A = this chain, B = another copy of it.
Amino acid sequence: MASEAPSETEVVGYLKTLSNWGRWGSDDELGTLNLITPAKRVAAARLARDGVPVTCARPIVTDISPDTTFQVLRFMVDSGEGRDTAPPERLLQRRGASEFIGMVFHGFTVTHVDTPAHFFWEGQIYNGRSCNLIASREGAQVEAVELLHDGVVSRGVLLDVARTRGVRWLERGEGVMPADLEAAERASGVRVEPGDILLARTGNFARRGAEGPVNPLRAGSPGPHAALAPWLRERGVAMWGSDTHNDITPTPYPSMGHPFHIVALVGLGLWLIDNMNLEDLGEACAERSRWEFLLTIAPLRFRGATGSPVNPIALF
């Protein structure tokens, strides 16, 4: 596998050689999502033949675990406790329960979308804008998740890399390489085409369930290798998701830190989905021997955000 890995200089070079800056105009903020056409969506909807929806998200819980960087919050504004026996004069105001929820969705535990504004390189984000536009007070003034107000709807393709390799999960520190994607294509009889949302399963979330969570910064994590970038651009992938935080840990390119994020988000304008749960989906595909489906991703319309927690829904 090591033979396939490009040098750090080559990966930094991808930011020029694979650049999509200007490809859809100097004002573009959507990047590779431009590759999804209405016709693509119509074709994708025809894949809904069984009427079975499947989640691609992990549960969101408030526990602290080794992979927590920021704890998720849920506090009741009003609970139901004692409302069965509350004195009648107070009951009118006490017939409802509600809660505050809060989170830093970026990190290692929540399934979420990354917009191109989430990462910078040499002070710039996708399409050459200044990273100063991602401001303390206003948040992301460009390339924010609100651009996806109508959702992302297209054909989803699952390439089950762990299954194709014949392992339960990729080892920590291992990368998904172009050869993995091609092997999975061959094994599943599907070919990734322009406008697809490509999901790659490493088994990483299954391992978390089986062995318990670990801190990826200490224990490592599998992830997509930056070597995928030329392949993803050539195939016209519109959005990439995996069951990892979408970079190998420890990083193979120390001066970049998060090479896959940087090349994908900054260079290609390729939006990402981190920390997916691809276990339910993997089973649903395997049962049907069908690795394509209608996929709907509906980010919150949160103004100024560099992403959103999501629950992507595959429809078979």
Contacts and interface: CB of A to CB of B under 8 A. Distances in A.
Interface of A: 37-42, 45-46, 48-55, 57-62, 64, 68, 70-71, 73-86, 92-93, 95-107, 111, 117-125, 130-137, 139-140, 146, 149-151, 153, 255, 257-258, 261-262, 280, 294, 296-307, 309-313, 315
Contacts of A106: 77, 96, 98-99
A297 B53 CA distance: 11
A83 B120 contact: yes
7 tightest Cβ-Cβ pairs between the two chains A and B? A82-B82, A84-B123, A102-B102, A38-B51, A80-B134, A80-B131, A45-B48
A98 B146 CA distance: 15
A152 B305 CA distance: 25
B302 A60 contact: yes
B132 A77 contact: no
Nearest to A105: B101
A37 B57 CA distance: 22
A51 B40 contact: yes
B313 A296 contact: yes
Given A42-B50, A81-B134, A99-B139, A64 B59 contact: no
B92 A257 contact: yes
Nearest to A36: B51
Contact of A53 (B41, B70, B100, B257): B41
B301 A55 contact: yes
A97 B118 contact: yes
A273 to B, nearest CB: 13
B79 A77 contact: no
18 contacts: A60-B301, A61-B303, A74-B303, A76-B79, A78-B136, A81-B83, A81-B135, A82-B82, A92-B255, A95-B120, A96-B120, A98-B106, A99-B139, A101-B103, A101-B104, A136-B136, A153-B313, A298-B298
A52 B37 CA distance: 9
Contacts of A298: 296-298, 310-313
Given A50-B38, A57-B301, A301-B55, A97 B313 contact: no
Contacts of A300: 57, 60, 309-311
A39 B51 contact: yes
B119 A95 contact: yes
